[in-house]
Structure 1
């Protein structure tokens, strides 16, 4: 893992999106202020451009996914977002259909056998995340922020790490400080510390740096699994 400077239990059941999960432990107040307004304006402008430019790539890989494995090209998955509010994240399918039927929701690992060959390439280049520009335009996500976790994993990590729910003080992102500095080979505790560091220091300029860092990772494949 690269060196970086760093100077609640969730009630989960079968729920529909837009559920508000309740945290007995303190999340803290949501981030607010003029920097957040600038962040949203930046998200809308770049998100719209990203949606238009990425559309041909998404359509091509959607065809590849359909041709190389059974199942839909796209899938929706429930994630926990700002202040515990759930939403459906949209991705290109990178795993075999019903890959978690036996294992349930688990933390992805290096050389994960559940991932298809084309899915491995999409994860390496982050192409599977491109449909999330739509989540950005909807306001579910930001370009940069803590990666949203699934409810069952949010519950688990919140029980293990008391500061984990504090990641929900800001809208989640397509990419984030933890992904740039730790990639996929990062523990939940390390992810929590990096995400909370980002929340305390975020700005539009910080987001721009993270986006350039993401572009570098796309070309190098660093941290992919």
Structure 2
């Protein structure tokens, strides 16, 4: 109950304060490449439930139509120039505040993956499914430990499970503040993609 209340406060404040930035990014995407500014993708969250996660579109429309799901890497050439900037700065993730507001995601929790990759990880990684005991999050302990993008899924799972087992409001606040610092550092060092 307390976590949901904090999610509602953070998402509401974020949307209220950032709506001009949302409009600016949406307009820039529309001017940069044809297609919608927002992108919805199926992801897996609590209890294995599939939901539609919102993001700002960073690639041309139908990029994976012929290839199927492809894991993003640091040398991924599929992003538009604006999309690369949005990914590096994590601004592409801002629409997930809508997911938090509607209750399909939490602000803090294990990052959700696509069903295609979840099926693979369930078979390859011990206790992978345990991370679905809680709602997926916009950011989490694994992310502030540098495990974003093409990094060890096993290490992410370790951090996700530690978070689940040791959850507290204080830990959530620590992750929130550290997330902003990590995003800024990654952007400056061009680590995120």
Q: Choose which of 25, 29, 32 in structure 2 pairs with 1:61.
A: 25
Unaligned 5+ segments in structure 2 are none
Residue aligned with 1:75, SS: strand
Runs of 4+ displaced beyond 6 Å:
none
* Alignment of 1:192 onto 2:157: yes
Q: Choose which of 163, 180, 187 in structure 1 pairs with 2:127.
A: 163
In the superposition, the TM-score normalised over structure 2's length comes to: 0.93
Once residues 188 and 112 of structure 1 are traced to their aligned partners in structure 2, the CA distance between those partners, rounded to angstroms, is 18
Partner of 1:117: 81
Larger relative contact order (CA 8 Å, sep ≥ 6): 1
CA deviation vs aligned residue, 1:20-60 (integer Å, no higher than 9, x gap): xxxxxxxxxxxxxxxxx211111111111011112111110
In the superposition, the TM-score normalised over structure 1's length comes to: 0.80
Partner of 1:149: 113
Alignment length (residue pairs): 189
Once residues 164 and 50 of structure 1 are traced to their aligned partners in structure 2, the CA distance between those partners, rounded to angstroms, is 31
Partner of 1:34: none
Partner of 2:192: 224
Once residues 144 and 66 of structure 2 are traced to their aligned partners in structure 1, the CA distance between those partners, rounded to angstroms, is 31
- Report deviation, 1:162: 2.6
Once residues 59 and 172 of structure 2 are traced to their aligned partners in structure 1, the CA distance between those partners, rounded to angstroms, is 29
Aligned-residue Cα RMSD (Å) equals 1.2
Once residues 184 and 110 of structure 1 are traced to their aligned partners in structure 2, the CA distance between those partners, rounded to angstroms, is 8
Partner of 2:171: 206
Partner of 1:26: none
Partner of 1:82: 46
Partner of 1:29: none
